[in-house]
Copies of this chain bind each other. A is one copy, B any other.
Amino acid sequence: MATGVEASRLSLNTATVREQWSLAQCIDGCARHGIGGISPWRDKLQEMGATNAAKAIRDAGIGVSGLCRGGWYTEEGAITQAVIDDNRRAVDEAAEIGAACLVMVVGGLPRGSRDINHAHALVEEGLAKTLEHARTVNVPIAIEPLHPMYAGDRACVNTTGHALDMCDRLGDGIGVALDVYHIWWDPEISAQIERTGKKRLLAFHVCDWLVPTRDLLTDRGMMGDGVIDIAGLRAQVEKQGFDGYIEVEIFSQENWWKRDPDEVLATMIERGAVI
């Protein structure tokens, strides 16, 4: 069993302190706390400018475990040029900051639709388009299977097995971002982590599932405060050879988003030692 994660191996997903800090402040915070990696969201990246951000991250000596997020292929019910272009920009931003991958939240059902099979087809069509460009600039694309409670409005790819089926068909340059929050309940998860393998295991995100959970989106817990066997899942991905950052992404309207962000980072580090 794995025995804790050093701060240098943690990555701060900027969503964890999104209500408190800009990207510049996040970079500075990571440097001060000895957190080794960062994973920006695009809104914060664009606010700072990708070129400035790339320089600041480089100067701070921090790695980039991912860029959140591309995708959202389904909303219009067709793969529009606007969606293709936006994902192309996301790939270029990921390349500019040297992100280990571009994380994809693929989109839920098209507006007004009840046809989830059509949504799946749109996602695969969109990913194929994005991949064409991503391969040319060597940005790995990571499908993030989201928890099934987001199938309607955020992502209709909800299991690791389903994401890997798509990867199998799409070929090189695409894999998965596994977030314990989304996958912990899956009775097939051990087999699917094995199936993923090192090459397709592009990111590993942690937080915790609180009991009770009071909101579908913004009531995620700090590692250790919930019921997920995070250490067990980490051991499984590391058995496949995963040696990337352990990225902390916590959406928490009523708790962590209201705290002093230095306290949030200190707690991340403290809890990292026991997962």
Write the residues of chain A forming the contact surface with B, with a CB cutoff of 8 angstroms.
Answer: 108-109, 113-116, 120, 147-149, 151-153, 156-159, 161-162, 165, 184-187, 209, 211-214, 216, 226-229, 232
Q: Across the interface, which residues of B come within 8 angstroms of A108, CB to CB?
A: 211
Among candidates B114, B149, B156, residue contacting A147 with C-beta atoms closer than 8 Å: B149
- A227 interface neighbour in B114, B162, B209, Cβ under 8 Å: B114
A113 to chain B, nearest CB (A): 8
Whether the pair B187, A162 counts as a contact (CB closer than 8 A) is: yes
Report A220 CB to chain B, min CB distance, Å: 13
Beta-carbon contact of A152 and B227 below 8 Å: yes
Set of chain B residues within 8 Å of A156, measured between Cβ atoms: 185
* Given A120-B187, A159-B187, A185-B156, also A213-B114 (CB < 8 A): no
Contacts of A152 in B (CB 8 A): 185, 209, 211, 213, 226-227
A–B pairs, 12, beta carbons within 8 Å: A109-B227, A114-B227, A114-B232, A116-B184, A120-B187, A147-B148, A148-B148, A151-B184, A151-B185, A152-B211, A153-B212, A212-B216
